[in-house]
Structure 1
Amino acid sequence: MRLILLLLHFPVCFGFHFAPLDRALIKHVTSSDRLSHFPTLHRKCRRPRHRQPCRPHQAIPIASIGIETTRALSGLVASSIVGFNFDRILPDSGILVTLISAALISNVGLAPTLHPLYDTCWTTFLPGSLTLLLLSMQKKTTETFANGESILTVVRRVSVPFAIASVASVLGCALSFWLCLTFPMHLLPKQEATVATACQAASFVGGSVNFFATAAVVADRSVSTLVSSMATADLVVTAIFFAILSTALQSPSLKRMFLNDNEREARNSDVEDINESTNKSTDSPDQPTPRKSIKDVSPATMLRLTISSILVSSVALAIVRLAERFEAVVSSIIPGTACAAITVLAPLVPKFMPRDLWLWKDMQRVAVPLSQFCFLFLFASIGMSADLTAALISGPACLVVSLSALVVHLIGTLLGCLISRRWFQSELRFEDVLVASNAAIGGPATAAAFCGRIVGPRQKALTYAATIWGVVGYAIGTTLGVTFFRIARQFL
């Protein structure tokens, strides 16, 4: 008995006691809420007699967190560098290569699939990519467009494919719900199918934020495992969706569908001229111009570019933080306003900045590759978070439900825009369709940053259109998901 009492009082004798971790502290350590309140060993606080004891200091295992953070950061940087280099060799292949390499790194165990650093890619690097893109634009591109189109014209035009994409998303989720009702033994039970398709409908109209907002309203504790599996499936399907968009952006056949007869004839004549010029060049080939390497850059130029990178990154981070403060004030009224604030604040910097300012040209020069790298950082986090094993083992039915909704969304958006273009004689472009589809599924920040990969005078106008309609999707996504749940529940 004395031995037992001695063991029980051993921590107290040496100044230790057991205390549970705070939930806020656990959320700071990891983005997952699956951790339980394990007791940890801490040093007791000194306190005077006959007074209220002070709160013990909450310690966390710094060594383990540092190792996991190093692995996560190394995986993000490595996959982003691989995708960035592939993008220079094969244009618009960086997103797909980054997703695949990041998924391989995390799924073979070289990096964790859950880490708070991945959330930082969404909250900091994605809006930072949009900010750097807007900072890199020159004064001429921020004031006028070469084809005479105004921003308002492009915004109105993108509204049509955004509405079609939203309807196609709802129809895809309705098809997934019907498949679950028809094959409940192979897919999801009826009650779980109602929750899953409602959350998916909200996600495919307003982004992943609306997925969790709808789940908080319609889901209960009995389907907590379902929500986790659906979230994993939604992440995998979102990665597939971004890979499809990146591939479709370079498809000549898809672009040709949205051209008029005159534009097709002009493009065919341009192709013939290019072929003739290439044939002449093969007859008298010139010496290829070697690409400059880092060794050819002088130390002074390297120092100037490094300082410019630090300065433009600091300006972009300040704009992002200011936009976050603005969103915190008005988020209860209009959600997703941080991206809208960035599109207003960032173009003001190059507009009022003197051209002869020291390092300003270099800052705009390095802002373009920095924006691309931050954008690839986002897809690296998506690939790292995609637990393919969990999606295939614990949630294959959820994966089928999400994939079927995505297929209907893609086909319905493409066919609907083609029909609308022919019936109403509209001037829809294939880039408008891609941006609208991305605004529906990815949200405003992802769609606006995606516009940086669209080359042409309409890039800035499409960025504003993606932001505006992405915010609209944020605003209506949760309401649409809850309404879908209430209607689907009537068929049970």
Structure 2
Amino acid sequence: METTLIKPEDTWLLWAFLAGWAAVSIYLEQKYKWASKVTGAIIALAGALILSNLNIIPTDAPAYDAVWTYVIPLAIPLLLYQANLKRVWNESGRLLILFLISSVGTVIGAYLAFFALSSFIPELSKITAVMTGSYIGGSVNLAALSAKFDVSEGMLSSTIVADNLMMALYFFVLIAIPAIGFFRRNFPAPHIDRVEQSAGDEDGTLAASYWQRKEISLKDIALSAGSAFVIVAVSFKIAEIFGSIIPDEGAGWQLLGGLLGDKYLMLTTVTVAAVTLMPKFFDSLNGAQEIGTYLIYIFFVVIGVPASLPLLIQNAPLLLIFVFLMVLANMVVTFGVGKLFKFSLEEMIVASNANIGGPTTAAAMAIAKGWKDLIVPVMLVGTMGYIIGNYIGTIVGNTLGGF
């Protein structure tokens, strides 16, 4: 029986830590360049990991359950409010094609990595589903799919640690690519050429440059939060109704029930439909992206809580190989097909980044590099990953479940 300084029933103290450490992680990421390179997600996770292994906070508590039950479902629609399908295609059609090609690389890597390591890593079919969604859309998909496939907390924590380490290493690679002679000689780089011809450097971290202060009103907050609550409630109720009326007999019915009765897939579908049908309303809301991202940072803190160091040492090295294979396949397909169809080097970099890290990291990299013409397109294209990642991850998980 674990004995910790803060007890599981100390709900307000635990919420103070969850919300407070998420805020500290964001502050550090935007204030200091070292923290921006490490990323706020890793800082959030690491702080919780350290405190739980020092027996300061418990590894299981009702406050953590509330994050899974309420915080994650609310974060998903808030982060999807820019996912207008018509606008994604009209403004970013060329980059969207490359992003989808890059997603194929993720799926290829998922199957290759699974069959290479399935004998060595427990729960790998579930983890493969989660990481497929994550490496097509980012942490939003990871949150939804890990809840859907019910990955054990210890294995999920180990996977998150391996994933964040891999993402950090891969982002350094992507950042370094424009400076490598091989890529500059063999790939067109018009955005880099334009930046090199212009003068001036921006101060601050890439996170601070992306999350700049914007005008926001009480009405924005009220409509963003209120609509998110309504969308979650309606989506979960629809999924519950479908789940109760669709028969559980036969593979076809089970597949249909799994899709229509899945509350996270229904949440994604209802949100995207609403945003596409009512673009003016959702475009007018300032702050939804910020609120949703802050909620996801609370999720990162919770993910670090049950991370047992012995389990990390036991599983993370193999999981690191697993995610490395997925990322390598994504990179090979993205740059190989991108070269074949004459995409620019910058387009390949941000498309792969949007797959592996999500739209915010890709947009932040475009901002940091000064590729201003790619910032909005990659943000829009990356939100497409939020949409398709849950579906593709679900399909991958269901097909691998029998192995």
Same fold (TM over 0.5): yes
For the pair 1:475 / 2:400, whether they are aligned, the reply is: no
Match of 2:29 among 77, 87, 100: 87
Match of 1:313 among 204, 215, 225: 225
Question: Contact (CA 8 Å) 1:165, 1:409: kept in 2 or not?
Answer: yes
- Partner residue, 1:379: 300
- Partner residue, 2:104: 163
Task: Give runs of aligned pairs for residues 403-414 of structure 1, distance below 5 A.
Answer: 403-414=320-331
* 1:154-196 alpha-carbon deviations (Å, 9 max, x no partner): 554333222221221222233324xx6xxxxxxx6xxxx6x65
Aligned partners of 1:241 and 1:66: how far apart in 2?
31
Aligned partners of 2:269 and 2:287: how far apart in 1?
24
Higher relative contact order at CA 8 Å, sep ≥6: structure 1 or structure 2? Answer: 2
Q: 1:449 to 1:130 in 2, by over 3 A?
A: farther
C-alpha deviation, 1:463, in angstroms: 0.7
Structure 2: gaps (5+ residues): 134-141, 203-207, 209-214, 244-256, 368-374
- Partner residue, 2:250: none
Task: Give runs of aligned pairs for residues 230-379 of structure 1, distance below 5 A.
Answer: 232-245=154-167, 248-249=170-171, 251-254=174-177, 264-274=189-199, 277=200, 305=217, 308-330=220-242, 332-334=257-259, 335=262, 336-346=265-275, 348=277, 351-352=280-281, 364-379=285-300
Q: CA RMSD in A?
A: 4.2
C-alpha deviation, 1:212, in angstroms: 8.8
Structure 1: gaps (5+ residues): 1-33, 35-62, 181-187, 216-226, 282-290, 292-301, 356-360, 439-446, 486-492
Aligned partners of 2:102 and 2:267: how far apart in 1?
23
Q: Percent identity among equivalent residues?
A: 14
Q: Is 456-465 or 240-249 further displaced after alignment?
A: 240-249
Q: 1:83 to 1:437 in 2, by over 3 A?
A: same
Q: 1:176 to 1:102 in 2, by over 3 A?
A: same
One-letter amino acid matched to 1:149 = S
The structure that has the greater radius of gyration is 1
Aligned to 1:149, what secondary structure does the other structure show?
Answer: helix
Match of 2:383 among 463, 467, 481: 463
Aligned partners of 1:148 and 1:213: how far apart in 2?
32
C-alpha deviation, 1:473, in angstroms: 1.9
* 1:311-338 alpha-carbon deviations (Å, 9 max, x no partner): 5322322222222223334462414232
C-alpha deviation, 1:414, in angstroms: 1.6
* 1:298-354 alpha-carbon deviations (Å, 9 max, x no partner): xxxx9x95675355322322222222223334462414232232222246555147x
One-letter amino acid matched to 1:205 = T
* TM-score normalised according to structure 2 size: 0.69
C-alpha deviation, 1:404, in angstroms: 2.2
Question: Contact (CA 8 Å) 2:355, 2:382: kept in 1 or not?
Answer: no
Question: Contact (CA 8 Å) 1:201, 1:481: kept in 2 or not?
Answer: no
Aligned partners of 1:159 and 1:214: how far apart in 2?
24
